[in-house]
Amino acid sequence: MRVNRISRARSRATVGLSVAALTVGAAAAAGPATAQATTSSRAASAAAADCSSAYKIEQKLDSGTTWRMCWHYESEAGLVLEDISYQPKGEAAPIKILTSAKLAQIHVPYDSGDAEYDDLTGAGFGQGLMEMAPGECPGGTIKTVKVPDAWDPQHPSVKGLCTTTRSRGHAYRMQGDTANKVWQTQGKDLLVYTVNQTGWYEYITEWRFQDDGTIHMNVGATGSLSPGDYDAGDGRGWPLGKGAKAYATSHSHNVFWRLNFGLDGSTKSKVEQYDSKVSAPTSRDQGPTAKTTRTKVTKELAGDAKNMRWWRVVSNTGKNADNHARSYEFVPGPTTKYPGRSFTKHDIYFTQYKKCEQFASNNLRNCGSGAGKSVDKWVDGQTLSHPVAWVNVGFHHIARDEDQQPMPVHWQGFSIAPRDVTAMNPLTPPGLADQNGRPEN
């Protein structure tokens, strides 16, 4: 059950907005740009980034690394980040990474089979942007967001986007050749986040940008357990409160992200998959061996995570100072894969870019007759020249006494890490700058 004190009053407006979105095939965007409704004979126009000062995020961290990006806000997806680049010290120009990055769905099926939600495109996620108090954005700035199709049209502006910095502990530590020398530094991150209420849940959508070029995408679920769900007496829930009378229904949160890469300013990237296989020793004197195989992903892919498997997106145009192609590697977080729907059966998808393909399920855009409404339907053998990545991270929520009241944040997400983006660790101190590659004798 997804109704609470706030959303109950908004439910009628939400239904109207969903119908309107299906009719025009486009969602309005606020902030720097607005996506205009179009006729059914042409695709919805995308929001164009306006990097005026109000919609530009630029942060130079203590290490000398600078992150730059634009932002806008959409009626279903919420916060969208665009033109993301990072410039570590020593690089003459910003290194472009992503053309756009956003949530692509939060799919919530209940174990009982009685309820199933697409929170972004069916439950008012975007309109549920919450106002933040200064204490929720320590040391940072809270930006005002104009919410498109706001439930309260007289008050569409919400102080709801936090940008701040936060220490993360050791970025590295290395004992030198002599006992009295330690190389170490403390890392720092840029954080960009919003809070959106959907029913009884409040989702913290966090983007964390490290000073070494790593990007973390996380969603944290908090708020309350719905009191209307204390009805799982069929073994599909967990008893909460006194005795064993009220059972909170178990359910899943399947979160999807959509990443449109633009490495070195070009959308023409390559995708590669790596698999390592460990074999038993062939003799008494030899230990186990491992062999890593690269597979070029030239066609659209529905990928499944396996032990010692990973993917990267490789630039077609840019190389680092060592003449190695720049790339970003996917680093998965913990996940519980939900097998109940076709689009949740895989961990990652690579599809050829198509403007109308915006949401991993219940896609509201008009992609034409027979195109399908979920990401699995779009993997149909097209050649990958402009790859878009869709990452699925699941969490099976079996409630516990500690989830009340309020519910502690439970996080799910993943990272993309630079692989050969710079010739050395971008945080290398000057005293070690000459130690690149094999030492010369």
**Calpha distance 202→83 (Å, rounded):** 27
Paired residues of 181 in beta bridges: none
Least confident window among 160-169, 222-231, 335-344: 222-231
Cα angle 193, 428, 218; round to 5: 20
Q: What's the pTM?
A: 0.89
Contact 56, 7 (CB under 8 A): no
Q: Supply the DSSP symbol for 355.
A: T
- Distance, CA of 273 to CA of 294 (rounded, Å): 6
Amino acid at position 244, single letter:
A
Tell me the average pLDDT across 186-200.
97
> CA–CA separation, 116 vs 108, rounded Å?
6
pLDDT tens track for 101-119: 999 999 999 999 999 999 9
- Phi, psi for 77 (deg, rounded to 5): -75, -20
Q: Which residues contact 192 (CB under 8 A, 6 or more apart)?
A: 57, 69, 71, 79, 81, 161, 162, 163, 206, 207, 209
226/224 Cα distance (integer angstroms) = 6
Asked which of 22-26, 67-71, 177-181, 297-301 is least confident by mean pLDDT, the reply is 22-26
Kindly tell me if the per-residue pLDDT of 160 is higher than 80: yes
Q: Give the CA dihedral 344, 350, 355, 360, nearest 10 degrees.
A: 10
Residue 200's pLDDT is: 93
Q: Which of 23-27, 148-152, 189-193, 360-364 has the lowest mean pLDDT?
A: 23-27
Q: Both tokens of residue 282?
A: 């062939």
Sheet holding 157-175, edge to edge: 141-146, 157-175, 182-198, 201-210, 215-223, 407-419, 325-332, 309-319, 269-279, 289-297
pLDDT for residue 10 is more than 80: no
Confidence check: pLDDT of 299 > 80: yes
pLDDT at site 228: 81
User: Of the ranges 218-222, 241-245, 286-290, which one carries the lowest mean pLDDT score?
Assistant: 241-245
Residue 13 predicted with pLDDT over 70? no
Q: With H, G, I as helix, E, B as strand and everything else as coil, classify residue 10.
A: helix
Q: What is the pLDDT of residue 38?
A: 33
Cis peptide bond N-terminal to 405, omega within 30: yes
Q: What string of DSSP letters covers 54-94?
A: GGEEEEE-TTS-EEEEEEEEETTTEEEEEEEEEE-TT-SS-
**Confidence (pLDDT) at 73:** 97
Tell which wins on pLDDT, 244 or 343.
Answer: 343
Across the range 54-71, mean pLDDT stands at: 96
Q: pLDDT band for position 5 (50/70/90)?
A: very low
Band of the pLDDT at 16, cuts 50, 70, 90?
Answer: very low
Coil, helix or strand for 304? coil
Cis amide linkage into residue 288, ω under 30° from 0: no
Average pLDDT of the chain, as a whole number: 88
**pLDDT tens column, 344-396:** 999 999 999 999 999 999 999 999 988 999 999 999 999 999 999 999 999 99
**Are the beta carbons of 389 and 313 closer than 8 angstroms?**
yes
Residue 438, pLDDT score = 81
Give the pLDDT mean for 167-185. 88
pLDDT above 90: residue 47 = no
Mean per-residue pLDDT, 14-20: 36
pLDDT tens, position by position, 203-234: 999 999 999 999 999 999 999 998 888 887 77
Predicted confidence at residue 50, as pLDDT, reads 61
Residue 96 phi/psi, 5-degree rounding, is -80, 140
DSSP letter at 279? E
| Rounded CA separation 439/355 (Å) | 49
Q: How much is the pLDDT for 255?
A: 98
138: tokens are: 């320590």
Percent of the chain scoring above 70 in pLDDT: 87
Residue 139 contacts residue 181 (beta carbons within 8 Å): no
Both tokens of 150, joined, read 């706001």
C-alpha gyration radius of the chain: 23
